Amino acid sequence: EVQLVQSGAEVKKPGESLKISCKGSGYSFTNYWIGWVRQMPGKGLDWMGIIYPGDSDTRYSPSFQGQVTISADKSISTAYLQWNSLKASDTAMYYCARRGSYWYFDLWGRGTLVTVSS
């Protein structure tokens, strides 16, 4: 089955670090870009950035540049989204999604809920 499996929900305190994951299976992981999308509670979709696991070429949305780090380990077909110092405003659902042949996303993970609270 073609799918993206994301890591489980996280509860963190402000200032803590976090790395969440997205594992692809059922397709050639290295040949498709993987993007990350934030959805804050009750809000819409915000594109954060994207990575090509084949060579780790990474692009960031200007809104998220410097705020997060996107990486990938092609040997285990996994992409990551990382924070060095979480803020309460990082509380959101985070989705990974596979990019199709153009700027659309044809396969989505179920999401990882990140809650940041003191």
Partner 1 sequence: QSVLTQPPSVSAAPGQKVTISCSGSNSNIGNNYVSWYQQLPGTAPKLLIYDNTERPSGIPDRFSGSKSGTSATLAITGLQTGDEADYYCGTWDSSLSAVVFGGGTKLTVL
What is the maximum span of the chain, computed from C-alpha positions, in angstroms?
42
Residues 6+ apart with CB under 8 A from 66: 60
Tokens of 65: 């540049």
Binding string, residues 59-98; x marks residues near partner 1 by CB under 8 A: x-xxx-------------------------------x-x-
Q: How many residues bind partner 1 (CB under 8 A)?
A: 24
Q: How far is the CB of 17 from partner 1 (least distance, A)?
A: 25
Q: Does 108 bind partner 1 (CB under 8 A)?
A: yes
Q: Which stretch binds partner 1 (CB under 8 A): 13-21, 24-32, 84-92, 107-115?
A: 107-115
> Cα(74)–Cα(90) distance, rounded to whole angstroms?
27
Q: How many CB atoms lie within 10 A of CB 91?
A: 16
Q: Does 104 bind partner 1 (CB under 8 A)?
A: yes
Q: How far is the CB of 98 from partner 1 (least distance, A)?
A: 10
DSSP state of 42: T
Q: In this structure, are residues 43 and 81 in contact, taking their beta carbons and an 8 Å threshold?
A: no
Residues near partner 1 (CB under 8 A): 35, 37, 44-47, 50, 59, 61-63, 95, 97, 100, 102-111
